[in-house]
Amino acid sequence: MSVGDEERYETQAAEDVYYELAYREAPQIIEEQKVVTDREIKVRLEGEAFPGKSGPFPWVTGRAMGQLLRENRLQVYGYVGRRRIKGGVTNKFYCIKGTKYDDIKEIIRVKRRISADVNNLLTGEASASYHAEDVFLEALETDLDCVHIERNGVSISPVKMELFRAFGALPGTGDRHVAEFFGHFLTKDTDAGLKYGVRLTTIEDRLQWRARDLERVNKMLSGEMTIEMSRSEETASKIISAIANGRCEIDVLNLPNKGQVNNLPRDAIVETYGVVGPGGAEGIAVGDVPPAVQAILHQHIVKHELTVDATLNGDRALALQALLLDPLILWLEISIPLRGC
């Protein structure tokens, strides 16, 4: 499913529980915050309107915000200052209808500046005078922990900040994904991640989404719903477009390690920035990662290699070893039955 299909779900608005909650709660949050970005409202909805649930995905939030705009309950301001900031930083700020720009321009300026600073650090475009820790902590301490960083969906959030404080390195993806690679966050003590704002997707959630999407497809096939031709926001669409149209695109790519991360094994698959175009894809070198981060990443590489070897050779002992290397396996006895399979 594409996370950029906000408008394609309008005909299902009344039937979508997440939509109804987002539609009801978003104006209250915006009124409290005075002005928000689209990514920010999505993150704040997870913490406010959806306690214990996975929260609205971006397309649901987009539908709700679109409907509120059509009803003239909200309005959008752009950034009217000098546009020296490159792409990847939002230019859309939502507020309650009737809000004067002069009343919120300072909030917009701060959110945009911090978003730009973080984006520049993540993309390697920051000047030598930047101190990453200062930038990230400012975002956190000024209650801008959900500033919008559009490039690759990166956002500052509790799990990432805990890891940044501990290791001095910031994970590049969202908390729900990062938490899976550590044994500290998805535990009984954290209420399966709720302490950090991580809300797990349940089987029931996925069954509901499947039923909803099947209905949407059937409506398109019957002509009851219009098929809108618009580009997906999935990264794959940008990569396909770059290759097909003879241009280069810089994005996060999974490629064999040819030196992108110098102190990890060669040919292990690493996820780094890279350049993709008609001539293929090449990773962008980042040098060495800190020793502690190297150890964490190396363990996952070994786990993946063991998983592949176990599969190709039908080796249950290797499968058990791979399973025990997963940080979410906290008790040995859970894995022992595999020996008798």
pLDDT value of position 286: 85
Q: Where are the domains of the chain?
A: 235-283, 291-340
91-147: per-residue pLDDT in tens?
Answer: 788 999 999 999 988 888 887 776 666 656 555 554 444 455 555 555 555 544 443
pLDDT (average), residues 67-81: 85
pLDDT value of position 229: 80
| 3-state SS record for the chain | CCCCCHHHHHHHHHHCHHHHHHHHHHHHHHHHHCCECHHHHHHHHHHHCCCCCCCCCHHHHHHHHHHHHHCCCEEEECCCCCCCCCCCCCCCEEEECCCCHHHHHHHHHHHHHHHHHHHHHHCCCCCCCCCHHHHHHHHHHCCCCCCCCCHHHCCCCHHHHHHHHHHCCCCCCCHHHHHHHCCCCCCCCCCCCHHHCCCCCCHHHHHHHHHHHHHHHHHHHHCCCCCCCCCCCCHHHHHHHHHHCCCCEEEEEEEECCCCECCCCCCCEEEEEEEEECCEEEECCCECCCHHHHHHHHHHHHHHHHHHHHHHHCCHHHHHHHHHCCCCCCCHHHHHHHHHC
Of 68 and 47, the one with more pLDDT: 68
Indicate whether 51 pLDDT > 60. Answer: no
283-326: per-residue pLDDT in tens?
Answer: 999 889 899 999 999 999 999 999 999 999 999 999 999 999 99
Of 20 and 26, the one with more pLDDT: 26
